[in-house]
Amino acid sequence: MANMDSVLHDTRHLNLPGLARVLVTAGKLDAQSAEDVYRRSQEKNSSFLGELMGSAAVSARDLAHAMSTAFAVPILDLDAIDPQKLPKTLLDPKICADLRLLPLSKRNNRLLVATSDPTNQQAQEKIKFATQYAVDWVVVEHDKLSKLVDSQTANINQVMDNLATGGEIDFDELAPDALTSDFNEKPGTSEVEDAPVVKFLHKMLIDAFNMRASDLHFEPYENTYRVRFRIDGELREISSPPVGIKDKLASRIKVISRLDISEKRLPQDGRMKLKVSTDRTIDFRVSTLPTLFGEKIVIRILDPSSAKLGIDALGYEPEEKQRLVEAISRPYGMVLVTGPTGSGKTVSLYTCLNILNQPGVNISTAEDPSEINLPGVNQVNINEKAGLNFSTALRAFLRQDPDVIMVGEIRDLETADIAIKAAQTGHLVLSTLHTNDAPATLSRMLNMGIPAFNIAASVTLITAQRLARKLCPNCKAPADVPHQALLDAGFRPQDLDGSWTPYKPVGCPACNNGYKGRLGLYQVMPITEEIQRIILRGGSTLEISEQARREGVRNLRESGLIKVKQGITSLEEVISATNN
């Protein structure tokens, strides 16, 4: 700092920036040339350093040595640095390009940054604000720094452009408002430098929709970044964009999902939309999660048309469909759908709601959050922070003269108690629980503290379900499955009469490793008088299960084996989906 003070003192008569005064004092530049360069930089509204290098009045090497000596800052030759080993995630590439600097390493809460102008206090503050790290300068030659910064930025943009245009999507032909949030924010409003990120995100969403994916996963790691799609229930890696774009991509998704872009420490949930044609818009549910190396973002595709396919498209057998339709046709009672996350419970419930959605029916739903928009249905999003939970919403519903109530999930005794009372007082209640099969649902409700007589009096039907992948009809081939393996899977000897053939996946351009689409496997169990008696006397899950079998209720494995006999899916897929 003593050197700095002497420089400022000796050249106080010069109305020049600190860098110019250092060069004049060091004898690297005369005062008149310094004033001329400074004047041109002011007229062009450019940086003094850039104008100085353009004028060739001082060599980059002399400039670096003068700055190092005057400010006691270490000097580094960038030729000794391997560009491939430079950290890619310490600082946004856009900041590096704008400020002409390069992060070299991080130690504790300090960032080592290469610069050709250590007098730039504004750059130091910007880095500190962006990273929350203190900055230690290293002086490097300006020409080498600019070349390396430009190559790093160009590499990222080139990779992103290749990723964004590598498919069959022509972005120039897409509707200008194709990617919009609920407040109509458009891609065109982003800065030009973000265009590759906007294109990349747009392509990923379009590709996910065209590939019938249910989810997109954007996952940052220490040195890599990957994008995976969940297609037919399986995750597939689709792309590996540069790790340096993870923050910019996360910010883009947050902006169009109306999330807080400055909050990176807590999970957030939001929504956005994609306009795929003039008359069709797809909703997306967005979830962010802070991880060790950035925010993981999962985008769930919510296609409203999936709820309008009709009950026949879901895979119910005729007798199962009849039981379900009879249950939802009653004016009161409770219908429960059970299964693990991702088993299609929401689509099943909305298919039932779509059947019930008539002009003379008042339907209200409470979900966390609402996944499918269904016109004619009063949908409520749960907001725990605001005090709006399932039980609060249910109480409000009962004051609004409902005919049908759908509760996204019964999680606690209070919600279950209100839902059961609603089912007993003239309302049809639809809801979900997380259990392995239909008989276990009744035991789960008893364990929650619901009296047995309330369960017996209110629950009319329980359907457990799983999703299994369907064989591609274009490439499936007969499978040579040993007789004993079929028996071990659950087939009865009389089923193996030679009248049908099991099939296996093969794989073709039209499918995903031999599978295309999914269908449901169902256990549809009406609560008959005999099952009610078992509930009232405190019978076990096993007793309920045996009684249901006597009444013709198939379990999930048996339901899947029927699909194998029909050639719709493979034996391996059924075993995998029903192997509880």
Instruction: Answer whether 452's CB lies under 8 Å from 446's CB.
Output: yes
Which of 12-21, 156-165, 200-209 has the highest average model confidence (pLDDT)?
A: 200-209
At 165-221, the pLDDT tens digits run: 544 333 333 333 334 444 334 444 444 345 778 888 888 888 888 888 889 999 999
Q: Is the pLDDT of residue 6 over 50?
A: no
Residues 6+ apart with CB under 8 A from 278: 175
Q: Which of 219, 194, 245, 220 is nearest to 92 (CA)?
A: 245
First to last CA, the chain: 71
Q: Which of 251, 257, 253 is nearest to 270 (CA)?
A: 257
Over residues 47-71, the mean pLDDT reads 74
- Residue pointed to by tokens 């099939």: 503
| Rounded-to-integer distance, Cα 377 and Cα 224, Å | 44
0.75 surpassed by pTM: no
Torsion on CA atoms 312, 318, 321, 323, rounded to nearest 10: 170
| Rounded-to-integer distance, Cα 302 and Cα 522, Å | 22
CA atoms within 13 A on the CB side of 302: 18
Instruction: Answer whether 382's CB lies under 8 Å from 367's CB.
Output: yes
**In a 10 Å sphere around its CB, with 0-12 CB exposed, 13-18 middle and 19+ buried, how is residue 45 labelled?**
exposed
pLDDT of residue 77: 83
Alpha helices, H only, 83-210 = 93-99, 121-131, 142-165, 195-210
pLDDT of residue 455: 92
Question: 47-61, 313-327, 383-397, 525-539 — which is least confidently predicted?
Answer: 47-61
Question: 68-72, 140-144, 394-398 — which is least confidently predicted?
Answer: 68-72
Over residues 12-17, the mean pLDDT reads 54
pLDDT of residue 54: 67
Q: Count of residues for the chain?
A: 580
Over residues 365-370, the mean pLDDT reads 84
Domains in the chain, CATH or no CATH each: 1-72 (no CATH), 73-153 (3.30.300.160), 166-302 (3.30.450.90), 306-467+519-557 (3.40.50.300)
pLDDT averaged over the chain? 81
What residue type is 195 in one-letter code?
A
Q: Is the pLDDT of residue 532 over 80?
A: yes
At 105-142, the pLDDT tens digits run: 888 788 888 888 887 788 888 888 777 788 888 888 88
pLDDT of residue 436: 87
The pLDDT-based confidence of 534 (bands split at 50, 70, 90) is very high
**Which residues face 283 on adjacent strands?**
273, 302
Q: Is the pLDDT of residue 426 over 60?
A: yes
Residues 6+ apart with CB under 8 A from 113: 91, 101, 102, 103, 104, 127, 135, 136, 137, 138
Residue 374 Cα to chain centre, angstroms: 22
Q: Is the pLDDT of residue 155 over 70?
A: no
The pLDDT-based confidence of 11 (bands split at 50, 70, 90) is very low
Q: Is the pLDDT of residue 325 over 90?
A: yes
Torsion on CA atoms 454, 460, 466, 467, rounded to nearest 10: -140
3-class DSSP state of 416: helix
pLDDT of residue 526: 95
3-class DSSP state of 470: strand
Residues 6+ apart with CB under 8 A from 490: 557, 558, 561
Would you state the structure tokens that stand for residue 136, as one six-digit string? 């230690």
Instruction: Answer whether 186's CB lies under 8 Å from 255's CB.
Output: no
At 477-510, the pLDDT tens digits run: 999 888 898 898 889 888 888 888 999 998 887 7
